[in-house]
Chains A and B, each alone.
Chain A
Amino acid sequence: MAKYLLLKHYRGAPDPVNSTPMDQWTPDEVTTHIQYMNEFADRLKETGEFVDGQALAPEGEWVRYDGPGSPPVTDGPFPETKDLIAGWMVIDVENRQRAVELAGELSAAPGAGGRPIHEWLELRPFLSQAPETAE
């Protein structure tokens, strides 16, 4: 089995095919979209491939250590140009092919007009633990 991280972006990803912003969909289209996302996660739970998934708020900041005795330095909010993660899902699947297949399904979530969004998702393999046998 191999773990993959599926990343969804607020911005920074190439433009999707169906790019109408969500607040210009009809309320029913919003509902259908959310249902699709929930059912996708539920299906992965049933197949035993779901590990974790969370959504992130769009706001955030940079933080770094500023030496002993000083509070950490913060910088934010993020500039408009920044690549911004919207959420993630961790899946544990047989191989890369299966991970790509699932990412494709997720990207087909319906958007405006009920048509698939064709959103670009980032797929990143986890670096795994060293196996016991690899001396």
Chain B
Amino acid sequence: MDERLLRSLIPDTLRILIRRGADFASAEDAVQEALLLALHRWPKDPPRDAKGWLISTAWHRFLDAARSEQARRRREELVLAEPPPGPASGKDDSLQLYLLCAHPVLTQSSAVALTLRAVGGLTTAQIAEAYMVPESTMAQRISRAKRKLAEAHFTEPGDLSTVLRVLYLIFNEGYSGEVDLVAEAIRLARELTKLSDHPEVHGLLALMLLTEARRPARTAEDGRLISLAEQDRSLWSTTRIAEGVNILQRALAQDSLGEFQAQAAIAALHADAQAPEETDWEQILQWYDELVSQTESPIAKLNRAVALGHAHDPASGLAALAQLDASLPRHTAASAYLHELNGDFATASRLYSLAAQKASNLPERHHLIRQAARLSGTDANGPWPGSGE
């Protein structure tokens, strides 16, 4: 059974149930039940018409649930209470689904979960596994999110920028479990580009593809992180890079810059260098300037300081870094890196060791410890305790 094909049918099925008058929350539950049934049955007994099967199964589930609620509410009222199906096209409906699941009234973790389930077609169990929480916790998070949406009555419309942020969050969660969230985020972003011409939607997809292109080179077989400068660039996916660059160029041609396009442009410049020393740091720096002006994000400023350290000299990078709040994530790591560029290995080693203690995830911590170890001489005496994780 092609699980990806099945998943791709989920948002359409949901859309059709809503068009038939089902409310979003009940329709979403019914579609999830149909999905679970399909995962169970299709391997042995594949339907002739997958989509037709899903729609009719989900619709019957919805009707069953609605009937069992008759004691509290008569079904007719339930259906009448919903707005009649409007003239909106399927494309608009699909976009609405994205906007709804990433609605600004939801917390980011709820929006992520709901998007993965209602648009991504993942099961609650899969989402729970990917985010390493119990399934009951994830189920509860999703049903609370749906209740919150029902209360919001959608007086305020959804916001495309929150959709993009949610997809980017999913992308950055990576791939720890059975479900590859990177691939899932790319798939959803790709679907979204079919629904919206907004250049930032295309910028986000380009950024994802250009980042994903480097994935085979980013970790060693034992899970060790490999820094950009040390990666085997022949492992980068030229197909993904070409596609990402192509999408980015079309987005930039619309002449309406945004943060995802700027980040994608930086990724594209890195991808363009056959060797680390061929990197066009001057242009990268210009894009960071652009990114900083777009977002005022302190993280962008931090990365800009590193780019400045390459484009001009490490001392300028360190000076720019000194202007920023030292409690920023990766501030110490960036400082260690620039000190190493500057040839001050003892300071770099000490700072890498300190950065390891501040790292927010294990692969990064291990990477930073290795960097400290690599540079540690006789005078390095970092405060790291005599044990690993």
Contact = CB atoms under 8 A, between A and B. Distances in A.
Nearest to B386: A19
B372 interface: yes
Contacts, number: 87
Contacts of B370: 27, 30-31
B65 interface: no
A57 to B, nearest CB: 7
A3 to B, nearest CB: 17
Nearest to A19: B386
Given A21-B382, A23-B373, A27-B373, A8 B387 contact: yes
Interface residues of B, number: 30
Contacts of A18: 386
A66 to B, nearest CB: 25
Interface string A33-46: 11101100000000
Contact of A21 (B224, B358, B365, B385): B385
Interface string B219-237: 0001110000000000000
Contacts of B366: 30, 34
Contacts of B77: none
B179 interface: no
A23 B372 contact: yes
A108 B194 CA distance: 55
Contacts of B389: 8, 34, 37, 55, 86-87
Interface of B: 222-224, 349, 352-353, 356-360, 362, 365-366, 369-370, 372-374, 376, 380-389
Given A29-B373, A30-B373, A23 B382 contact: yes
Interface residues of A, number: 33
Interface string A92-135: 00000000000000000101000001010000000000000000
Contacts of B222: 31, 34-35, 38
Contacts of B386: 16, 18-22, 111, 117, 119
Contacts of A23: 349, 352-353, 356, 369, 372-373, 376, 380, 382, 384
A81 interface: no
A57 B360 contact: yes
